Structure 1
Amino acid sequence: MVKAIGMTVFLTLLSHTGDYLKKEPGRGGGANPWDVLGTWDGVWYQRIAENGYDPQLIPLHGFPLATYYENSAAFFPLYPWLMRLVGAVTGLGPYGSGIAVSVIASLVAAAGIFAIAERLGGFRAGVIAAVIWGLFPGSGVEWAVYSDSLFVALSAWACYCVMTHRWLTAGVLALVAGLNRPTAAALIAAVSIAALVALVRRTDGVARPLTAMLITPWGLFGYVAWVGWRMGDWGGYFKLQRGAWNRYFDGGASTLRTIMDVITGHWTFWQSNPVPDLIAIALLMALPGLLVLLWRTRPPLVLWVYTALTVVTALSSNQIFGNISRYLLPAFPLFIGLAVALRRVRTSSLVGLFAMPVIAAGWYAGYALFELGIP
């Protein structure tokens, strides 16, 4: 219901402005409002689902920020594989299959977030955390042709399995997540560190934690190695990310520099988009408080490591600043701390508290991301 209301507002805003009709198809434009949900990264996923991969590093000249042509190998394979499977079973095209996978995955993710929050703070906390998942800035990609919902579904349930000592399942989920996004490195590290601690303490024997720790990285390593092999350059994936998308680790230098530019009103930085950039600033201002609330719930080690590495990864890379809301979306334990803090609030007050975000999410998490920025 929460997502449906937000999506209705998003599509209404698209229809009201009609700006999507003036934009290039695949870059925020299309023939219909709902086509916007399959643009930007969604175009690449649809191409992969239809045509597969052809990893190449093709030099590009004359552009200061780009040294290679864009290539589909930058996008991990799990999501388009599932799109192709759903298409084969249902007859849906790449767009419809992508939306179907994302919607189902978003519900699985919500269930995983609920399960974790319920263990830490009770039933009400679980419900509130699941609602926040649907309202968080950046949540507009949850029902789009994007892999984010699938990644959070895998991450949430992997963490839950660690919390309930289901080590083999946690390891398999982390391995599979490594085929979905490079940021799965945070999940892989979290599961591995938790398994190592259990191994040292002998709380769950030896075989299961050890097996989980050993299998987690091979999805991520395998795909990056395959891309490198196909390109004839073992560092090919990372060269493509930097040379075609200008994405690379810089220790947070670009994030800090952009924060200074935004708060001083200088919009001359790479891919500046005022509305998404200001939303990112607001989220960064709230981040310390969300971390404190999470700490007060006394979360298990796996959640701490996963959250910390997800936040560090999001803030330590050169990227489109306005996308910070999307890059922090996988840090779902942040929702849980807030949910536990709100669990004692009366239901009528909670309804009033969430009423406006439920409606406004169609703008700040949808329209602002897809039409006023680049998701």
Structure 2
Amino acid sequence: MLERTHAPPAARPGALLLRERAEAALRDAAPALLAYAAVRLTGLLLLTVPAVATGRDVLGLLSRRWDAVWYTRIAEHGYGFEIATPDGVHSNLAFFPLLPALERVLAALTPFEAATSGLLAGWLASLAAAWGIYAVGARLRGPATGVVLAALWGAYPTGFVQSMAYTETLFTAFAAWSLYAVLTGRWPAAGALAVLAGLTRPTAAALVAAVVVAAGVALVRDWRAGIPPAVLLRLHRPMLLGLLLAPLGWLSYMLFVAARRGDLLAYFAVQDAWGNGFDGGRALAGFTAETLRSNTLAGLGLCAALALVFWLLRLCVRQRQPLPLLVYSFAVVAVSLAGSGYFGSRPRLMMPAFPLLLPAAVVVARQQPARAALICAVAAVASGVYGAVTLLGPGPP
């Protein structure tokens, strides 16, 4: 008598459909992820060769320098550490908690220590960011533009930070996918991703502004079209949920620091002790003027770089980018340039504003594939050389 066997249960149609969609999305994004990985591997190679030749530890350069040390210390010991300097008392409360939390989790689940876990988190986040950037570019201007946009973001002048245990890649991943969710009408997802971004970097204020402004404009437009308020609220429940969620991550950390210090504005006091504050650009103007006086060539280069940023913003407007992208880019640039502090970090602070590269990505994507690949390769080498010089030098980025 044959033994009766039971066939495995069939996959649920919903789960199967979700898996098929995920696989299709990954296939679509594969060229962008490969292009981005090639750009970043080029940068790592250009760093590794001189580092090994001079006896430097490559992993140490990427995971145990500058801000990465502060994140690792938070992961290992929590908040509460301060260090006194001639400029003031620097507290680790200036650093947002999500990356240290990921470092702690990965260190518990893998053989890696916290510093290496931060590097792993950053590398995985960089791929997620490249995927999100591709998704935005492909939706607006087609797959070829999406691929080029991801590659150009990897070849950003301070793109070497994308290979470090820093928060830029993690934040950009959340920001890109949140903006994509807004563009596709997935408001709860946009708000939830903004919450995670708000636990990653203070720059999340720019992303929150993008979500809130986009939702507000849509609500006002429908209200002016004559839709009764009660109907409007019912029709836009998902949008309202995303709008309400968006600021919660950023606000929760502000309140955490406030509770630790007993001062509602304590986070801004912590930043001020680091020399970081908002002055409307006065410090930048003074720094530019001083640089022109002390080193005319360097000053002219700085002016050219600032002019390039504003020209790119103008191109984004002329390109008629969707409102959420424009608000996000303008806000990131404003937050990065309108404050005091160390000016060498400004290019890094603006790196999450990937829509600034969309006009260039459109132009490059129109070229013959070989020429487009050559342009991206040249940009990758230039970025890699700059990164190697910076990381092997005194820094900081």
Pairwise TM-score range, normalised by the shorter structure: 0.7 to 0.9
**TM-score normalised by length of structure 2:** 0.82
1:230 shift after superposition: 1.1
1:238 is aligned to 2:268 = yes
Q: Distance in 2 between matches of 1:333 and 1:292?
A: 12
Q: How does 1:206-285 map to 2 (within 5 A)?
A: 206-243=236-273, 245-266=274-295, 281-285=303-307
Counterpart contact for 1:139–1:366, Cα < 8 Å? no
Matched position secondary structure for 2:162? helix
Structure 1 counterpart of 2:311, which letter? G
Q: Distance in 2 between matches of 1:116 and 1:195?
A: 18
- Equivalence for 1:129: 149
1:279 shift after superposition: 7.1
**TM-score normalised by length of structure 1:** 0.87
1:46–1:176 Cα change, 3 Å: same
Q: Distance in 2 between matches of 1:208 and 1:179?
A: 22
Q: Distance in 2 between matches of 1:115 and 1:291?
A: 21
Q: How does 1:79-94 map to 2 (within 5 A)?
A: 79-94=99-114
Counterpart contact for 1:196–1:209, Cα < 8 Å? no
Matched position secondary structure for 2:294? coil
Cα distance per residue 1:333-369 (max 9 Å; x no partner):
0111211122211122223323322222122245326
Structure 1 counterpart of 2:266, which letter? G
Unaligned runs of 5+ in 1: 19-30, 268-273
Structure 2 counterpart of 1:205, which letter? L
1:280 shift after superposition: 5.5
Counterpart contact for 2:138–2:144, Cα < 8 Å? yes
Q: Distance in 2 between matches of 1:280 and 1:323?
A: 13
Counterpart contact for 1:158–1:174, Cα < 8 Å? yes
Q: Distance in 2 between matches of 1:168 and 1:306?
A: 18
1:278–1:230 Cα change, 3 Å: farther
Q: Distance in 1 between matches of 2:335 and 2:209?
A: 12
Superposed CA RMSD in Å reads 2.3
Structure 2 counterpart of 1:229, which letter? A
- Equivalence for 2:29: none
1:6 is aligned to 2:26 = no
Cα distance per residue 1:173-232 (max 9 Å; x no partner):
111111111110000011011111222234992211111111211111111111111122
Structure 1 counterpart of 2:339, which letter? S
Unaligned runs of 5+ in 2: 1-37, 223-231
Q: Distance in 2 between matches of 1:346 and 1:241?
A: 48
Q: Distance in 1 between matches of 2:42 and 2:360?
A: 22
Matched position secondary structure for 2:191? helix
Counterpart contact for 2:364–2:375, Cα < 8 Å? no
1:300 is aligned to 2:330 = no
Counterpart contact for 1:196–1:210, Cα < 8 Å? no
User: Structure 1 segments of 4 or more deviating over 6 A?
Assistant: none
Counterpart contact for 2:313–2:330, Cα < 8 Å? no
Q: Distance in 2 between matches of 1:282 and 1:108?
A: 32
Q: Distance in 2 between matches of 1:278 and 1:89?
A: 50
Structure 1 stretch displaced more, 217-226 or 156-165: 217-226
Counterpart contact for 2:198–2:247, Cα < 8 Å? yes
1:51 is aligned to 2:71 = no
1:372 shift after superposition: 4.5
Matched position secondary structure for 1:264? helix
1:49–1:292 Cα change, 3 Å: same
- Equivalence for 1:34: 59
Whichever of the two has the greater Rg, that structure is 2
Q: Distance in 2 between matches of 1:370 and 1:261?
A: 27
Cα distance per residue 1:288-310 (max 9 Å; x no partner):
33223322332111001001111
Counterpart contact for 2:51–2:392, Cα < 8 Å? no
1:166–1:343 Cα change, 3 Å: same
Structure 1 stretch displaced more, 226-235 or 151-160: 226-235
Task: Give the count of matched residue pairs.
Answer: 349
Matched position secondary structure for 2:129? helix
Q: Distance in 1 between matches of 2:346 and 2:304?
A: 11
Q: Alignment partner for residue 72 of structure 1, among 86, 92, 100?
A: 92
1:131 shift after superposition: 0.4
Counterpart contact for 1:138–1:323, Cα < 8 Å? no
Q: Distance in 2 between matches of 1:179 and 1:278?
A: 37
1:139 is aligned to 2:168 = no
Q: Distance in 1 between matches of 2:113 and 2:346?
A: 30
Counterpart contact for 1:125–1:340, Cα < 8 Å? yes
Counterpart contact for 2:122–2:170, Cα < 8 Å? yes
Q: Distance in 2 between matches of 1:115 and 1:280?
A: 32
- Equivalence for 1:271: none
Counterpart contact for 1:174–1:184, Cα < 8 Å? yes
Counterpart contact for 1:184–1:220, Cα < 8 Å? yes
1:105–1:278 Cα change, 3 Å: farther
1:250–1:369 Cα change, 3 Å: farther
Structure 1 stretch displaced more, 145-154 or 6-15: 6-15
Q: Distance in 1 between matches of 2:264 and 2:152?
A: 40
1:198–1:9 Cα change, 3 Å: same
Structure 1 counterpart of 2:249, which letter? G
Q: Distance in 2 between matches of 1:74 and 1:280?
A: 28
